[in-house]
């Protein structure tokens, strides 16, 4: 999608701090981190949200990337949170499927007003 900020990061059209990438997924630092570790994992291909008819294999690969990112970011042993927001009521602010990997501090019971 031409106006999707995550598509632009994936395509290197706008800067992003890339943590990991392969043929199907890209992980990069959130521009507005809620915790010391706040990394997003996105598919290279644009899907609006988790209910957007995503191939099962790709969903599996996205979630299989989570422990790899946790290890890269150094939270694999201390713990981390994995979040997928979907739609307006789910507080999805960028409509490109993404997985949040959050950690590096004790988790608050409630996160901030938006992500």
d(CA 60, CA 90): 21
Query: Is residue 36 in some structural domain?
Result: yes
- 46 as an active site residue: the answer is no
| Residue 82 placed within a domain | yes
Report if residue 11 sits inside a domain. Answer: yes
Q: 49 lies in which domain range?
A: 5-103
Question: What is the dihedral angle through the alpha carbons of 59, 60, 66, 69, rounded to the nearest 10 degrees?
Answer: -90
CATH code for the domain in which residue 82 is found: 3.30.428.10
Please tell me the total count of domains within the chain. 1
- Selecting among 38, 95, 98, 100, the annotated active-site residue is 98
Instruction: Evaluate whether residue 74 is within a structural domain.
Output: yes
> b/e map of 6-39 (b: 16 or more CB within 10 Å)?
bbbbbeeeeebeebeeeeebbbbebeeebbebbb
17-67 residue pLDDT tens: 999 999 999 999 999 999 999 999 999 999 999 999 999 999 999 999 999
Position 79 pLDDT exceeds 60: yes
């Amino acid at each position: 999608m031409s106006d999707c900020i995550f598509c632009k990061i994936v395509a290197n059209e706008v800067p992003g701090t890339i943590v990991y990438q392969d043929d199907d997924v890209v992980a990069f630092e959130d521009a507005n981190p809620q915790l010391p570790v706040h990394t997003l994992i996105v598919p290279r291909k644009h899907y609006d949200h988790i209910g957007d008819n995503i191939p099962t294999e790709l969903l599996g690969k996205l979630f299989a990337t989570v422990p790899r990112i946790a290890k890269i970011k150094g939270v694999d042993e201390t713990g981390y949170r994995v979040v997928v927001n979907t739609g307006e009521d789910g507080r999805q602010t960028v409509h490109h499927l993404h997985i949040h990997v959050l950690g590096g501090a004790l988790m608050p019971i409630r996160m901030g007003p938006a992500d």
